[in-house]
Chain A
Amino acid sequence: DAGITQSPRHKVTETGTPVTLRCHQTENHRYMYWYRQDPGHGLRLIHYSYGVKDTDKGEVSDGYSVSRSKTEDFLLTLESATSSQTSVYFCAIRPTGQGAREQYFGPGTRLTVT
């Protein structure tokens, strides 16, 4: 257990509304990631963070923004949700100690945009 929680775990929202998903970690890891997973695709990177206030775009960042004001929290915001953003969203962390190579994933948030 890498101490990663995601909230909410499930959400249904209407097209055009803003949505914020939260990823919380308890172990002060520097690197955090947001992925989305859709049928027929593997996980795809949306945004990532390499420290407080340090973020960058991933492969599928259009329509998403992120913020990281504290080490433990990484927020993903859909400014105006669209049906194409219906997906399962996973947060991950990556330890940076010597020899660390693995990533740990949260339980996911299932988002439905109607």
Chain B
Amino acid sequence: DAKTTQPNSMESNEEEPVHLPCNHSTISGTDYIHWYRQLPSQGPEYVIHGLTSNVNNRMASLAIAEDRKSSTLILHRATLRDAAVYYCILKVYGGSQGNLIFGKGTKLSVKP
């Protein structure tokens, strides 16, 4: 699985949008881009995933660069509950293992 690069930490103000970047310059054509987050003292939680097109769900939006070498997770209005570590993960499907390879992620702090 290809590697991703994320900033170690970011800060945001409550009720403002947050853009969390992820670089994945060695991404292959079959890699899906996944985002998970981990709130304090909890297990990771699936946020969103995409392949080529931008994606929206109730939690967030995923903007994928045209060359797919970077992506941005967008939280439209940050709340205090969004303070977590956010992981950007690339995953190829079709193999038998299917596990996720976690990096260190971006720790998001949200200020009231």
Known: A101-B32, A102-B34. A43 touches B42 (CB 8 A): no
Pairwise interchain contact B44-A43, C-beta atoms closer than 8 A = yes
In Å, the complex CA distance between A41 and B102 comes to 8
Nearest A-chain residue to B49, judged by Cβ: A101
Known: A56-B97, A101-B34. A42 touches B103 (CB 8 A): yes
Nearest B-chain residue to A31, judged by Cβ: B98
Name the prevailing secondary structure of the B interface residues: loop
Name the prevailing secondary structure of the A interface residues: strand
Tell me which residues across on chain B come within 8 A of A43, comparing CB atoms.
44, 100, 102
In Å, the complex CA distance between A57 and B101 comes to 14
Query: Which A residues fall within an 8 A CB radius of B?
Result: 31, 33, 35, 40-45, 48, 50, 56, 58, 90, 92, 94, 101-108
Query: Which B residues fall within an 8 A CB radius of A?
Result: 32, 34, 41-46, 49, 87, 91, 93, 96-105
In the assembled complex, 12 residue pairs joining A and B whose CB atoms fall closer than 8 Å, in A order, are A33-B99, A42-B87, A42-B103, A44-B102, A50-B96, A56-B97, A58-B99, A103-B46, A103-B100, A105-B43, A108-B42, A108-B43
